[in-house]
Structure 1
Amino acid sequence: MTTTKDILSRLVGFDTVSSRPNLDLIAFAEDFLTSRGFSAHRITKDTGEKCGLYAQLGPSGDGILLSGHTDVVPVDGQVWTRSPFRLSEEDGKLFGRGTTDMKGFVAAMLSLADRAARADLQEPLRLVLSYDEEVGCVGLQDMLARLAPLLGQPRVCIVGEPTEMQVAIGHKGKASLRATCHGQSGHSALAPNFVNALYLATDLVAELRGLQAELCEGGGRDPAYDIPYSTLHVGKLSGGTALNIVPDRAEVTFEYRHLAADRPADILARIKRAGRKVQKMHAKLGSNARIDIDQYNAYPGLDVAPSDLVVSDVQRLAQTNETVKVAFGTEAGFFSELGIPTVVCGPGSMAGQGHKADEFISCEQLAACDAMMDRILGELTD
């Protein structure tokens, strides 16, 4: 536990907010691992300012894969009562940005690596560190082409997002979209003669709200989720330059989060039909009316059957009989799509501490994660 806390202190000290480089943290992790006999492979982003890491120790074989992301959400606009990038301990809690999401798990991974270096492994221990998870799981997507050949086919993959050490077998997939609405500019005194791009945008929002109602009433249902149906959410609406000018451009940024039962291609097709419907309504006033819908990011959901062997394997490692499905997205779906049996299990509570001021992880949760890591080491050395 002391080793894990020491490592966590180092990790929290790296300001790896997603808008900043993570190279110093990766250099620390790479040196930590290679000095203990791991083979390590950096996977660098095209810009060179960020990178991920794959590391492996032990003989050939399937083994166990552990995965965590290195970036954290910003602290701007939050009121912290202590330094967010310096680990502090009080009343059995370890405070600092990323302690729960998810440097606590990464610290436990590295602490396990330290112990594994002194053990007689019969199977390989595989570790992945990614970047830019907090901005839509884009880092692992960048890494996949170079990462997949290195991974092989581990028999178990654990993505260590905070689940209070329960085994999470599902989360929704997500897609991020941008609708650019084009109209005609003109003097507001003659507004009815022009196509107002903001009207296209707000009419599209109304259509999206109608589609949300349809998904709620007639789409797939999964009672394991707090919101048991697929959702549509509009996050940003912008447009216009001045009150007396009819806006010729407006933008709507929105997302959908889908259950496994609702095919994302079907939801996207319905969204595009809604866009064409609004465009046709406004085209009667002017041929300039147009809505361009761009899906600029997406990540897959996770949907593991409770009877799958990976579930009972990780339940045994985590010493729990429970399974849950989580509201937030993770990188687990990417590993699952590679055919690797994958679940999510890690220390801390996303709802309780994730993304909040004075983020913390309890020493009790971190110790439970260390205990799971000890059982993983036992499996790899049997």
Structure 2
Amino acid sequence: MTQAVALLEDLVAFDTTSHRSNLALIEYVEAYLARHGVAAERIMSPCGNKASLMARIGPEAPGGVVLSGHTDVVPVDGQPWSSEPFTLRDGGDGRLYGRGSCDMKGFIACALAKVPEWVNAPLTRPIYLALSYDEEIGCVGAPALIERFLHYDRHAASAHVIVGEPTDMQPVVAQKGATNLRTTITGREAHSSQVDQGVSAIHVAARLVTFIEDTMADLVAEGRVDDAFNVAHSSLHVGKIRGGTAINITARECEFAWEIRHLPSDTFEALYARFEARCNTLIGELNAAGKMLEIVTRPLNVTVPGLADRDNQRVLRLAEANLPAPCCRRAVAYATEAGQFQGAGFEAIILGPGSIAQAHQPDEFVERAQLEACSAFLSRMGQALAEPADSVSGGVES
């Protein structure tokens, strides 16, 4: 724990907010691994200002586990922090405060702290580290990392994945997918006293925003629900809107940013098709009345796939065999890179220290007890990976 906290202090000190480079942190991790005889490989971003990192501890052998984490954090701007966000603070209350302490540098610190132990263990299957960039803005870095990992060594594709997002150290077996979108409505200006001469982009946007909200009620009425999730239906939400120039001018343009978080049993395409149909109806109605209207929607990220509770028995067996009983399998509404790993053919679950309730918050914290639980799990996992692949103690076979 002492080493894990020291590493967490160092990791938090790197301001890896998604709009910044993470290369200083990547260099730090590379140097740390090199001191313990572990080689690492970078996967650079297209802009060259960020990188993901891969490393293997143990033999080049079938099976094993990938410990996956993202290095970026969300902004602190405008949040009422009680202390410097990028300085880890021991609150004296069993909590360690700092941006990323929970989401998700705590998990990375615990994994790095175990490297000396794993290097000296008689592992029969490997432990891989996979650190990504730009998860917080749409899981942008993971696809290239996963593609490279599939060819990292001849057995990499047979490994199983644990994504260390905060889950209170309970295995999460399902997550929603996510897509961020921006819709721009272009109407026609007119003096507001002659409102019929114009097309208010704001009024059209209001109708679409209401439709987006109403769609959720429709999904529930259609029985498209999964009670494993605390929000049991796919959710659609508008987070930002702007438009217009003056009170007495019908707005020529209005723009809103929104998201679709779909259940694993739904698809983004099917839900977006409902919105697209509504847009086409509005355009048709106004054009028929001689009024020009344009609605353009663009995705802000490649859709992050959901994680379905399937094809995960071996990695679940490893996790549950090395966690204190009882384990409670969960589903979560937030998106992670686990769905991307599953889409590439890996068994994947989400399991890490801390609570998602603390993520993205001012005075973000992780409890020491959660770091201790994570460290204990990782030690037991390493011991299991030093046993025969078919061991009843939870080894992961290929």
Pick the TM interval, shorter chain: over 0.9
CA 1:337 to 1:101, structure 2 compared with 1: closer, same or farther past 3 Å?
A: same
- 8 A contact 2:7–2:113 mirrored in 1: yes
Equivalent in the alignment of 1:232: 236
Equivalent in the alignment of 2:396: none
Residue by residue over 1:29-52, the C-alpha shift from the partner in whole angstroms, topping out at 9 and shown as x without a partner, is 011112322221111111122111
Aligned residues: 381
For the residues of structure 1 that align with 2:57 and 2:290, how far apart are their CA atoms?
Answer: 65
Other structure's SS at 1:100 match: coil
For the residues of structure 2 that align with 1:219 and 1:241, how far apart are their CA atoms?
Answer: 42
For the residues of structure 1 that align with 2:81 and 2:256, how far apart are their CA atoms?
Answer: 32
Worse overlay, 274-283 or 304-313? 304-313
CA RMSD of aligned residues (A): 1.7
For the residues of structure 1 that align with 2:146 and 2:122, how far apart are their CA atoms?
Answer: 30
CA 1:51 to 1:155, structure 2 compared with 1: closer, same or farther past 3 Å?
A: closer
For 1:48-63, what aligned pairs fall within 5 Å after superposition? Answer: 48-61=48-61, 62-63=63-64
For 1:1-382, what aligned pairs fall within 5 Å after superposition? Answer: 1-61=1-61, 62-89=63-90, 90-150=92-152, 152-297=156-301, 298-305=303-310, 308-320=313-325, 321-351=327-357, 353-382=358-387
Q: Tell me how far 1:220 sits from its aligned partner.
A: 1.8
Residue by residue over 1:279-314, the C-alpha shift from the partner in whole angstroms, topping out at 9 and shown as x without a partner, is 122223435212122233220111124972322221
The one-letter code matched in structure 2 to 1:124 is P
Residue by residue over 1:4-27, the C-alpha shift from the partner in whole angstroms, topping out at 9 and shown as x without a partner, is 111111101111111211111110
Q: Tell me how far 1:245 sits from its aligned partner.
A: 2.5
- 8 A contact 1:16–1:22 mirrored in 2: yes
For the residues of structure 1 that align with 2:253 and 2:192, how far apart are their CA atoms?
Answer: 15
- 8 A contact 1:59–1:121 mirrored in 2: yes
Other structure's SS at 2:87 match: coil
Other structure's SS at 1:17 match: coil
For the residues of structure 1 that align with 2:337 and 2:159, how far apart are their CA atoms?
Answer: 17
CA 1:207 to 1:88, structure 2 compared with 1: closer, same or farther past 3 Å?
A: closer
- 8 A contact 2:216–2:233 mirrored in 1: no
Q: Tell me how far 1:241 sits from its aligned partner.
A: 1.7
Q: Tell me how far 1:193 sits from its aligned partner.
A: 0.9
- 8 A contact 2:151–2:157 mirrored in 1: no
Q: Tell me how far 1:243 sits from its aligned partner.
A: 2.4
The one-letter code matched in structure 1 to 2:10 is R
Note the residue ranges of structure 2 that are not aligned, 5 or more in a row. Answer: 388-398
- 8 A contact 2:98–2:363 mirrored in 1: yes
The one-letter code matched in structure 1 to 2:138 is G
Other structure's SS at 2:103 match: helix
Other structure's SS at 2:233 match: coil
- 8 A contact 2:107–2:165 mirrored in 1: yes
Other structure's SS at 2:152 match: helix
The one-letter code matched in structure 2 to 1:261 is S
The one-letter code matched in structure 2 to 1:214 is D
For the residues of structure 2 that align with 1:69 and 1:133, how far apart are their CA atoms?
Answer: 6
- 8 A contact 2:94–2:367 mirrored in 1: yes
Other structure's SS at 1:67 match: strand
For the residues of structure 1 that align with 2:32 and 2:380, how far apart are their CA atoms?
Answer: 22
For the residues of structure 2 that align with 1:19 and 1:307, how far apart are their CA atoms?
Answer: 34
CA 1:242 to 1:16, structure 2 compared with 1: closer, same or farther past 3 Å?
A: same
- 8 A contact 1:219–1:262 mirrored in 2: no
The one-letter code matched in structure 1 to 2:86 is F
For the residues of structure 2 that align with 1:280 and 1:209, how far apart are their CA atoms?
Answer: 22
- 8 A contact 2:182–2:255 mirrored in 1: yes
- 8 A contact 1:239–1:247 mirrored in 2: yes
For the residues of structure 2 that align with 1:196 and 1:162, how far apart are their CA atoms?
Answer: 44
Residue by residue over 1:113-167, the C-alpha shift from the partner in whole angstroms, topping out at 9 and shown as x without a partner, is 2221222222111110011111121221354443432272244210000111000
Other structure's SS at 2:265 match: coil
Residue by residue over 1:236-288, the C-alpha shift from the partner in whole angstroms, topping out at 9 and shown as x without a partner, is 22111222322222112211111122222211211111111121222234352
For the residues of structure 2 that align with 1:219 and 1:294, how far apart are their CA atoms?
Answer: 29
CA 1:286 to 1:240, structure 2 compared with 1: closer, same or farther past 3 Å?
A: farther
TM-score by structure 1 length? 0.95
- Give aligned-pair identity as a percent: 39
Q: Tell me how far 1:201 sits from its aligned partner.
A: 1.2
Other structure's SS at 2:259 match: strand
- 8 A contact 1:200–1:282 mirrored in 2: no
For the residues of structure 2 that align with 1:219 and 1:177, how far apart are their CA atoms?
Answer: 25
Worse overlay, 268-277 or 237-246? 237-246
For the residues of structure 1 that align with 2:192 and 2:80, how far apart are their CA atoms?
Answer: 43
